């Protein structure tokens, strides 16, 4: 079996989640025995001062026998985080991006003229 045939056999189903500088790849792959497993890859882009860049990748291989406990643990961790901290993202980076403007001296609400309406198609 050639390399291309092996790749065609291996890659069954894929989804991509783009999240800022990170991209998550979810891939269903096939074992040599014909069973399926999941790989989750995080790819993070790093830009150098000269404008060049590289990606760091981390990969998890998840087999069917671990699906249920893995899912339970991930759901429990996410539920815990949401119950403790809510849905709002709290980080220095996001605070700068989404910092609320202070009311003007005359007590009026800040203008939203400085915001740009961006569509996901623009990204």
State the CATH number of the domain containing residue 33: 3.10.450.700
Q: 104 in a domain, yes or no? A: no
pLDDT given for residue 58 in this prediction: 95
Report d(CA 113, CA 101) in Å as an integer.
12
pLDDT given for residue 39 in this prediction: 96
Query: What residues contact 62, with CB distance under 8 A and at least 6 apart?
Result: 37, 38, 39, 40, 70
Report d(CA 70, CA 63) in Å as an integer.
10
Give the structural domain span for 69: 3-99
Token pair for 26: 């979810």
Q: 88 in a domain, yes or no? A: yes
Q: 119 in a domain, yes or no? A: no
Q: 51 in a domain, yes or no? A: yes
Q: 12 in a domain, yes or no? A: yes
Q: 45 in a domain, yes or no? A: yes
pLDDT given for residue 119 in this prediction: 53
pLDDT given for residue 62 in this prediction: 97
Q: 105 in a domain, yes or no? A: no
Report d(CA 1, CA 37) in Å as an integer.
21
Q: How many domains does the chain have?
A: 1
Q: 112 in a domain, yes or no? A: no
Q: CB of 45 within 8 A of CB of 57?
A: no
Task: Give the residue ranges of the chain where pLDDT is below 50.
Answer: 1, 4-5, 7-8, 101-102, 104, 112, 114-115, 123
């Amino acid at each position: 079996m050639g390399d291309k045939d092996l790749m065609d056999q291996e890659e069954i189903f894929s989804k991509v989640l783009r999240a800022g500088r990170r991209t998550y790849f979810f891939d269903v792959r096939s074992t040599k025995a014909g069973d399926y497993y999941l790989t989750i890859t995080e790819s993070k882009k790093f830009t150098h001062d000269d404008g060049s860049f590289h990606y760091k990748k981390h990969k998890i291989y998840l087999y069917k026998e671990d699906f249920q406990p893995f899912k339970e643990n991930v759901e429990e961790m996410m539920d815990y985080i949401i119950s403790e901290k809510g849905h709002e993202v709290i980080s220095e980076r996001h605070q700068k991006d989404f910092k609320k403007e202070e009311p003007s001296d005359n007590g009026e609400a800040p203008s939203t003229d400085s915001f740009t309406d961006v569509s996901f198609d623009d990204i």
